[in-house]
Structure 1
Amino acid sequence: MVSEPTILAQLIQSYARTAKLHRGKQLHARLIVAGALLPSSTFVANHLLNMYAKCGDLDHALSLFDVMPHRNLVTWTAMISGFSQNRVFDRALQTFTSMCSSGLKPTEFAFSSAIQASVSYGSAEFGKQLHSLSLKSGFSLELFVGSSLADMYSKFGSLANACRVFDEMPHKDEVSWNAMIDGYAKNGDFEEALAAFQSMIRENIVIDQHVLCSALSACGGVKTSSFGKSLHSLVVRLGFQMNTFICNALTDMYSKSGDMDSASRVTGMDSGSWNVVSCSSLIDGYVELEQIEKALTVYVESRRQGVEPNEFTFSSMLKACAGQAALEQGTQLHSQVIKTSFIKDPFVASVLIDMYGKCGLLTSSIQIFQEMWKPTEIAWNVILGVFAQHGRGKEAIETFNQMVSQGISPNHITFVSLLMACSHAGLVEEGLKYFNSMHDKYGVEPEEEHYSCVIDMLGRAGRLKEAEEFIMKMPFQPNAYGWCSLLGACRTHGDKVLGELAAEKLMKLEPENSGIHVLLANIYGKFGQWEDVKAVRKLMRDNRVKKLPGFSWVDVNNKTHVFGAEDWSHPQMKEINEKLEELSVLIREAGYVPFTGSLSCNVEESLKERLLNYHSERIAVAFALISMPTAKPIIVKKNLRVCVDCHTAIKLISKVVEREIIVRDSARFHHFADGLCSCGDYW
């Protein structure tokens, strides 16, 4: 005959399974009134503890725990699991420690819960201590504990330890295999993850949806759909093709592999069976391929079908706006982010900072950053990158110092942004100081990008001899960016010999880069060596190297208007031309003198002046002035570096029309206002 405690336990278990907390509380109250919770009733009390924990009522669980006169291993384990399940990970670890201090030896279930809590709490040190204790207790090879330890080490990025634990386990189940595969995938060792999956297949371990999702994630990481298609076939054979998690993983795998047709078919675009995960994967895939219109189409259609975006959706869409400098779409998304409260998500906020920075609105980037409660490492690096793009060296240094004082360790991305900011602001000594401190003070080994930034920094400052000496001492040859920076500096500061060396090195690295020939021709033109200019142009023709045409664009009323030099194709070109003529008169009256030295062609000065007046950035500025209300900022983008003459002209245009004009060229942003530029004429 079933005893009364057993009946009570079964009843309480049913309340826990069905989350009927109110019924469990009523039963608990009746037991207290009836005096049924006596010292001998620890068995029933443990089930009540478990019920409260599973229903998320930790207050009642703690109250009961505190008044229990006798606590056994089940009691302590129930509390540890309860804290862990309800994400109170620090209390789970504290309770585990208290249990050990009381003289009780943990069970495998207590170990497993505590290990999982240490992972979620981010305490690798506590996890290692648990591993040592499990070895002493003889539980390290137990299936639950071993799987949890393997999972812990893989999530902390210590794959060597994870593999050692995994290899020592005498019996491996599906959970332990998945921990290894998932660990490899999340740590970027995608080939190892797929190799582990194949080993699992060879050992005839049963495959479930979790293992398949981890393997598909690894396929997405290697960005090839060939192995992924084999997995897709396995999914169909095992009957998982309708499983939502598997479909999401397949969509993500195909999207990361660039196979958007397959990704769309898996998602079921035609059937309308979308969800936020699959939509986010599709959007991200299109963004990576720079197919922004398709990404926008997926986003709009998903909203029409009632799919609410999440933080990943917004991040991908804002990333697309940042890449295209699409300010109007970005501000609309910003409004939706605020309405859905995702502005509190640190990653979304970081992408917003980046978006506004790349669209030219530096003040908006700074405002969002300052409103973040506790900026993450990503947010600090993003704002540093924004300051670098806008040439704000002093602000970048101040931000770097704040970042370090907040206990955030700088990484290689941090120093690239910091060095670029110093370079564009002419802060050479400060930049050299930070470069020299990277390894010794911050433990970051300088890479090619950092060396290239120093070459650029010295070159811009005209310290070409130092740049050459720096190159000679480098542990490796400069990359294309380094040589190109040096070549550009030689053009600016008139060093023909070093410029020829840089051009020779660069032609070996990027023989089809027309910019090399253009810069070299400019150097020769500066010295009046027109025969050498002709020779360079002949070399371009012989090698079929075409000069990259310069063009500028501006967004007006959700439409992008693109202009080339001396471009007469725009339907409003008559009005644009009239504005250009008007501006030409006004800036001459304000002191403008054409700088024809920026053109490497041997023609009459009057023709050079006309060519300068119809550079693409000036046409774009004129169009913006006749098309945009004064309340909107004028933001012009250019694919090449803005020339010296246009820089002077736009400074004066900003003064005579009393408008701020923002120009983003291939190197940085220029903020023109009242006859001045934010770069201080140093770029």
Structure 2
Amino acid sequence: MGKLRGQNTGPPAAAASLRFAALLQSCGRTGDIRRGRALHARLLLTGAAATSTFLANHLITMYSYCADAASAVRVFGVLPRPNPVSWTTLVSGLVQNSMHHDALAAFAAMRRAHVAPTQFALSSAARAAAALSAPRPGTQLHCIGTRFGFDTELFVASNLADMYSKCGLLDEACRVFDQMPHRDAVTWTTMIDGYAKNGSLKAAILAFRDMKCEGLVGADQHVFCSALSASGGLKDGWFGRSLHCCIIKAGFELETVVRNALLDMYAKSGDLESASRVVKIDPGGWNVVSGTSLIDGYIEVDRIEEALETYTELGRQGVEPNEFTFASMIKGCAMQDLLEQGAQLHAQVIKTSLISDSFVGSTLVYMYGKCGLISLSLQLFNEIGYHSEVAWNAVINVYAQHGHGWGAIQAFDRMTASGIRPNHITFVCLLTACSHAGLVDEGLEYFYSMKDAHGIEPKEEHYSCIIDMYGRAGRLDEAEKFISEMPVKPNAYGWCSLLGACRMRGNKELGEIAAQNLMKLDPDNTGIHVSLSGIYASLGQWEDAKSVRKLMKDSSIKNLPGFS
């Protein structure tokens, strides 16, 4: 090294190059960028930084690991003839520093320079496309991989499958997965996670079972988190408990991320006792994720008192609530009309400076509106700095709840004028507002604009809003015609709305059709028999009314309050 210091020209000898490479690797591993820059300066003095591609590649790697991507790009830029390793190192470093657009641009430049891509460069570029959810460059990368024979390489195929799943193209991800000659735990985890995040929850569980049959379950805690997410989404507590057994066997029960996923699964499955026991596995292991999941579970089943107790326990454990904790608690207060507790949470939100968070602010707008304080709700909405679609949905919903149809319409028009795109929830709130205010023509106009003007395909709940709107307006013939032309069958809410309208209008024929369909979807709904009996009674058909009452008695159905 002393000899090297005495020379300012010419590349270092092979042994010195290897020593420099080892030192640069050490700087990269430890993040010692100061020492790395000193080594770079010495290489600049010798001229090796520009003439030795080997050392330049190590410099690019070192700067990438030290999160100085700009310096890595500069080193690459002075190379007269970058080799495939240089290009690969650059693409990989840019991905490592979350510069995904730049990584894809670098890979494209590599192709324009007629440098054959390596499987590592292709794999890194696929990771960039996955992070950007960019299917077009991702598909092009797949074609390049196929051309060079990399598409069946384990890590390339795994990243391609991950890219397709993150782009929502599960069929393509499955095709890549099925063509792989062999799969490891990472590949299986990629697919299971892709299924879970794209809503194919049953497929995620089946894939986990297949993975287990191949003996690959147990080495990676992340696969359990993905499988637990699918189980919670399906509310499949039985499968979730079997996963819990596997987790204990694999020794991951005390891992924070796994415990959080376990608790979330039990909470979503409605098994709140098991969820509470998971928290107690490690008494000192309370965290904001597990606490919020438990609160969510209690609120979902209207156990607001236990949600409040859990929130208090988080404070005792020294855990600071985040925006999701506050939003869940405020939502729970809104559901139970607990204005005093909601106002206290509002004060705490102000203290924690989360009042500017659009998600929390939107929930407060909803809570005050639900509790009847419309003016305060709208004032708070106007004070929110950024109006996201969630905030607009909240204020439209406030108008809908109180029958202010024109207010909801004006809010919707202001929303679209401000450049915020409505989503399917926006239209549920808007159509509900039109229904409650008797604005049938306006509601129909907005319904048909969903697909034509906004590119949103109506779902069951939107069709049900129109059925309810026709029913409330007494336009039952149009409701019947609308149902016959629907591309999907009405859900329970739709039939329930129609049955209530038939009861109010004494429409026996349509009421019987609605009742029959509702019984198939919701056989335990006592209101069906009450409404049907009411229709018969209003028409003076006492024998039919008596028969329905007898059926209720024989089936031990109690006469609970009806619906309209």
TM-score normalised to structure 1 length: 0.70
Q: What is the SS of the residue equivalent to 2:52?
A: helix
For the residues of structure 2 that align with 1:241 and 1:456, how far apart are their CA atoms?
48
Cα distance in 1 for residues equivalent to 2:307 and 2:401:
26
The residue number in structure 1 matching 2:258 is 246
Do structure 1's residue 326 and structure 2's residue 326 form an aligned pair?
no
CA–CA distance in structure 2, aligned partners of residues 400 and 215 of structure 1: 39
Shift of 1:149: 0.6
Matched, 1:106 2:98: no
1:18 is displaced (CA, Å) by 1.4
Query: How far off its partner does 1:306 sit?
Result: 1.7
Structure 1 residues 58-67 or 134-143, which shifts more? 58-67
Following superposition, the deviation at residue 29 of structure 1 comes to: 3.1
Say if 1:241 and 1:466 are closer, same or farther in 2 by CA, change over 3 A.
closer
Q: For the residues of structure 2 that align with 1:372 and 1:147, how far apart are their CA atoms?
A: 43
Q: Distance in 2 between matches of 1:121 and 1:541?
A: 57
Distance 1:37 1:210, change over 3 A: same
Task: Name the amino acid aligned to 2:234.
Answer: V
Shift of 1:258: 2.0
The yes-or-no answer on 1:451 pairing with 2:466 is: no
Matched with 1:591 is: none
Residue 284 (structure 1) aligned with residue 324 (structure 2)? no
2:432 & 2:232 partners in 1: Cα distance? 33
Where does residue 613 of structure 1 map in the other structure? none
1:502 shift after superposition: 5.4
**1:170 has 2:177 as partner:** no
Q: CA deviation at 1:179?
A: 0.5
- Distance between the aligned counterparts of 1:484 and 1:399, measured in 2? 29
Distance of 1:433 and 1:12 partners within structure 2 = 66
**Cα gap change, 1:282 to 1:85, in 2 (>3 Å):** same
Change (3 A) 1:193 1:366: same
2:34 alignment partner AA: H
- Which residue does 1:271 correspond to in 2? 283
Which residue of structure 2 lines up, in the alignment, with residue 394 of structure 1? 406
Query: Residue type matched to 2:526 in 1?
Result: N
Structure 1 distance, partners of 2:347, 2:283, is 30
Conserved in 2, the CA contact under 8 Å of 1:318 and 1:352? yes
Name the CA shift for 1:457/1:234 in 2 (closer, same or farther; >3 Å): closer
Q: Hey, what's the Cα distance between the residues in 2 that align with 1:476 and 1:116?
A: 38
SS of the residue 2:82 aligns to:
coil
**One of 235, 245, 258 as aligned partner of 2:270:** 258
Partner of 2:441: 429
Aligned with residue 24 of structure 1, among 12, 36, 52: 36
Question: Are 2:314 and 1:314 equivalent residues in the alignment?
Answer: no
- Letter in structure 2 aligned against 1:165: V
Alpha-carbon deviation of 1:293? 1.6
> Structure 1 residues 97, 349: CA separation in 2 closer, same or farther (over 3 Å shift)?
farther
1:217 aligns to what?
A: 229
Q: Which residue of 2 aligns with 1:152?
A: 163
- Mark the runs of 5 or more structure 2 residues left unpaired by the alignment: 1-12
CA deviation vs aligned residue, 1:48-105 (integer Å, no higher than 9, x gap):
2222222222333333333344433333333322322222222222222222222222
Aligned mate of 1:358, from 357, 361, 370: 370
Match of 2:6 in 1: none
Equivalent position to 2:211, from 197, 200, 204: 200
1:415 paired to 2:452: no
Per the TM alignment, residue 175 of structure 1 is displaced from its structure 2 partner at its CA by 1.3
Distance 1:524 1:31 in 2: 97
For residues 150 and 542 of structure 1, do their structure 2 counterparts lie closer, same or farther at Cα, with a shift above 3 Å needed? closer
Secondary structure, counterpart of 1:454 in structure 2 = helix
Equivalent residue for 2:26?
A: 14
Query: Which residue number corresponds to residue 202 of structure 2?
Result: 191
Q: Deviations over 1:442-471 (max 9, x none)?
A: 555545433332233234334455445545
User: Residues 363, 171 of structure 1: CA spacing in aligned structure 2 closer, same or farther, 3 A cutoff?
Assistant: farther
Name the count of aligned residue pairs: 545
Q: Is the 8 A contact 2:532 2:548 kept in 1?
A: no
Over residues 368-391 of structure 1, what are the superposed CA-to-partner deviations in whole Å (9 max), with x where a residue is unaligned? Answer: 656667655555544443332233
1:67 corresponds to: 78
Q: What amino acid maps onto 2:69 in structure 1?
A: L
Q: 42, 47, 55: which is aligned to 2:53?
A: 42
Distance 1:38 1:480 in 2: 71
For the residues of structure 2 that align with 1:169 and 1:477, how far apart are their CA atoms? Answer: 40
Matched, 1:179 2:190: yes
Matched, 1:84 2:84: no
Secondary structure, aligned partner of 2:76: helix
Deviation at 1:162, TM superposition (A): 0.6
Contact 2:133 2:163 in 1 (8 A): no
Amino acid at match of 1:251: L
What TM-score does the superposition give when structure 2 sets the normalisation length? Answer: 0.83
User: Aligned letter for 2:128?
Assistant: A
Deviation, structure 1 residue 165: 0.3
Moved more, 398-407 or 177-186: 398-407
**How far 1:161 moved relative to its partner?**
0.6
Give the distance between the partners of 2:249 and 2:553, measured in 1 at CA. 57
2:307 corresponds to which of 273, 287, 295 = 295
Q: Structure 1 or 2: larger helix share?
A: 2
Measured in 2, the distance between the counterparts of 1:245 and 1:476 equals: 40
User: 1:346 and 1:104, CA in 2 relative to 1: closer, same or farther beyond 3 A?
Assistant: farther
> Matches of 1:538 and 1:257 in 2, distance apart?
35
3-state SS, counterpart of residue 262 of structure 1:
helix
Change (3 A) 1:36 1:339: farther
Q: Which residue of the partner structure matches residue 64 of structure 2?
A: 53
Alignment-derived partner of residue 513 in structure 1:
526
SS of 1:205's partner is coil
2:443 corresponds to which letter in structure 1?
G
- 2:138 matched residue in structure 1: 127
* Structure-2 change in CA distance of 1:92 and 1:222 (3 Å): same
Gap change, CA 1:80 and 1:309, over 3 Å in 2: farther
CA 1:331–1:60: 2 relative to 1, 3 Å: farther
Asked if 2 retains the 8 angstrom alpha-carbon contact of 1:484 and 1:506, the reply is yes
Secondary structure of the 2:252 match is coil
**1:96 aligned onto 2:128:** no
Structure 1 stretches lacking a partner, 5+ long: 551-639, 642-683
Residue pair 2:499, 2:531 contacting (<8 A) in 1 also: no
Aligned equivalents of 1:310 and 1:31: distance in 2?
A: 48
Question: How much has 1:136 moved relative to structure 2?
Answer: 1.9
Q: Which amino acid aligns with 2:114?
A: G
- What are the superposed Cα offsets for residues 521-544 of structure 1, whole Å, 9 maximum, x if unpaired? 69978x9x8999997997799566
| Mapped partners of 2:480, 2:328: distance in 1 | 42
